Structure 1
Amino acid sequence: MRGNSRMFKRIGLIGLGNMGRGMALTLKRQGFEVVGTDVAITTREALSKEGISVRETIGEVVAECDIVLLSLPTAAIVEDVVTGSGGILANVKPGLLVVDTSTSHPETTRRLAENLRRAGMRMLDAPVSGGPKGAITGTMAMVIGGAKEDLAEAEPVLAAMTAKRVHVGEIGAGHVAKIANNLFAAAHLLIAGEVTRMAEKAGVPTEQLLQGINAGSGRSFITEHSYPTWIMNGKFDSGFTMKLMRKDVRLSQELISALAMDLPMAAKVAELWALSAQSIADEEDFNRIVELGTRDQA
């Protein structure tokens, strides 16, 4: 039961935290009706006050919608939402399209997609980049894994909440690409922190250094965007925490291990992010990693 001509008007959303809230409000602004739920009562109440229809259970959301988005912090929570008591599989709705926007493990995604398929439902993995600001403004980027026909059906919804979407392969491919993206970001932040400290000690202020780097081949999102937006001004308020990035870096190591590969640079990045837990708290902004090694010296 595909129904590619179906137009989704009511969108289910499970997980109404920083990212889910932004997605819900963006979709509402684009003319969709959003029905959401979250494990936290206070979060549900807050979204209700912002005009989002909220429900207490996953089953209620599934019953009312033909497409359900997931915005959840870990692969384990995604699995519980799909397979757990009261989850999606416990409330089977043939033809339902589940779109996981979380950063999760590709093997978990493939297993869940197969379980959903056997129950007559479908899945796309479509993790997002852009943080809470991108979610609330509809400017996120999305890497997507899954069947082309399912993506075509979901396209109007995904287009309403993102600025760019790239279909990278079959189910699970989206999460491989997102893990790769976040490993890059984790590595870029580490080296940027060291390079800027090196230049400062050699007499070149960070602002001038980055002007030069951003005109050359060393530039990255970190040097062009993260430094002026969150780091140099001391704001450190991107909305993405150290805890979440540490989790994503661990996901990269799990994937590398599953592929039986030896990637020493990736291993060193993971080692340093794990080490950062000794000096940078979980709840702090992930850009704080540029300060690794400096706090003990202060």
Structure 2
Amino acid sequence: MKTIGVIGLGNMGRGMALSLQRGGFEVVGTDASATTRATLAAEGVPVVDSIKDVVAKSDAIVLSLPTAAIVAQVVAGADGLLSHPKAGVLVIETSTSHPDTTRQLAAQLASVGMSLIDAPVSGGPKGALAGTMTMVIGGSDEDVARAEPVLMAMSAKRVHVGGVGAGHVAKIANNLLCAAHLAIAGEVTRLAEKAGVPTERLLSGVNAGSGRSFVTEFNFPTWVSSGKFDSGFTMKLMRKDVRLSQELIGALDIDLPLSRKVADLWAVSAETIADDEDFNRIVELGAARTKA
């Protein structure tokens, strides 16, 4: 693979395109926004105006899009990938999407000689730009092996968890855990503060014990205790991912009461924490009431 197309050049797609270019690939990108396309062109990434032009130039195509509906539109909608089939092209879907949508799109692409793997990412815009993201990957052994040089240019850790759609199952599970860890960490730090134990000292103790998590070890010092709240991942995006978890749980017809409660908390947070706020702000949910 020599030329990689990137569709979706926002916070994540921009970093991936630049990492791929730095990794020695020819890159061609496109985005629905003309302004975004112009920004990437100014950074030295060749851009085109249409998906058709991306397909024509590419050996593989990376999708970095915000929702399953937009992924479906880009693949199967008017003037999408299926309208411009090119046998042998591998589609790498890095969004957090619904596994059933992913499997359906993979089958449609296979019917025209194209392949799809799902490789949703963690690490935020900084990780995308640095090429240090983590990917959980769903796809056939053959397709994942074929994609490895491309994935390596964008990520530091890659875990192949199963067939097509499995990557998105794993990513939904990961983000549901992160959403839960943030919510409970916000509550226990307020509990400790009220009982006279400062957050910094509490976390030093927790992180030396069995209660630690990535949230207490990394999110808190990096974005919460520092007051920066600038991870690059918004409340809106995490709310979307938590909703995806509930859709998957519903489709599987299983009863997961704690997961449902986490989803309820994230949904009600929309009343006090705006969509464009950093997702770590969930730790502040109920803080004013606690102080009162």
* TM-score of the aligned structures, taking structure 2 as reference length: 0.98
Asked whether the equivalents of residues 229 and 278 of structure 2 are also in contact (C-alpha less than 8 Å), the reply is yes
The alignment status of 1:75 with 2:68, answered yes or no, reads: yes
Specify the alignment match of 1:129 in structure 2: 122
1:162 equivalent to 2:162? Answer no
Mapped partners of 2:222, 2:269: distance in 1: 22
The residue aligned with 1:117 is 110
Q: Does 1:36 align with 2:21?
A: no
Number of equivalenced pairs: 291
Deviations 1:197-251 (A, max 9, x none): 0000011000011111111111100000000000001100000000000000000
Match of 1:152 in 2: 145
Q: What SS does the corresponding residue of 1:194 show, helix, strand or coil? A: helix
The whole-number CA distance in structure 1 between the counterparts of 2:213 and 2:44 is 38
Find out whether 1:236 has 2:266 as its counterpart.
no
Contact 1:279 1:295 (C-alpha < 8 Å) held by counterparts: no
1:249 aligns with 2:242: yes
SS at match of 2:287: coil
Q: Show the 5 A alignment for 1:187-266.
A: 187-266=180-259
Equivalent residue in structure 2 for 1:291, among 272, 284, 289: 284
- The counterpart of 1:24, out of the listed 1, 8, 17, is 17
Q: Which runs of 4+ in 1 moved over 3 A?
A: 295-298
What do residues 96-123 of structure 1 show as CA deviations (whole Å, max 9, x unaligned)?
A: 1001000000000000000001111100
Taking the aligned partners of 2:109 and 2:261, their CA distance within structure 1 comes to: 37
1:172 maps to amino acid: G
Tell me by how many angstroms 1:31 deviates. 1.4
Secondary structure of residue in 2 paired with 1:53? coil
1:58 corresponds to which residue? 51
Aligned position for 2:89 = 96
In structure 2, what is the Cα distance between the partners aligned to 1:171 and 1:73?
A: 19
Q: Give yes or no for contact 1:13–1:69 (8 Å, CA) kept in 2.
A: yes
Which of 65, 79, 87 lines up with 1:86 in the alignment?
79
Matched residue type, 2:12: M
The one-letter code sitting in structure 2 at the alignment partner of 1:13 is V
Correspondence for 1:3: none
> Aligned partners of 2:247, 2:54: CA distance in 1, in Å?
32
From 89, 103, 106, the counterpart of 2:99: 106
Q: Aligned partner of 1:81: which letter?
A: V
1:5 alignment partner in structure 2: none
TM-score by length of 1: 0.96
Counterparts of 2:287 and 2:197, CA distance in 1: 18
How far apart are residue 295 of structure 1 and its match?
4.0
Aligned partner letter, 2:175: N
CA distance in 1, matches of 2:242, 2:288: 22
Output the amino acid matched with 2:107. E
Contact persistence 2:190–2:287 (CA under 8 A)? no
Per-residue deviation at 1:27? 1.1
Runs of 5+ unmatched residues, structure 1: 1-7
For 2:200 and 2:210, the matched residues in 1 are separated by 17
Q: Work out whether residues 242 and 282 of structure 1, in 8 Å CA contact, stay in contact via their aligned partners in 2.
A: yes
Aligned-partner Cα distance in 2 for 1:214–1:133:
24
CA deviation vs aligned residue, 1:28-53 (integer Å, no higher than 9, x gap):
11111110000011100000000000
Percent identity at matched positions?
70
Residue identity matched to 1:114: A
2: distance between equivalents of 1:96 and 1:156? 15
C-alpha contact (below 8 Å) 1:124/1:150 kept by paired residues: yes
RMSD: 0.8
The amino acid that maps onto 1:41 is A
Distance 1:109 1:27 in 2: 23
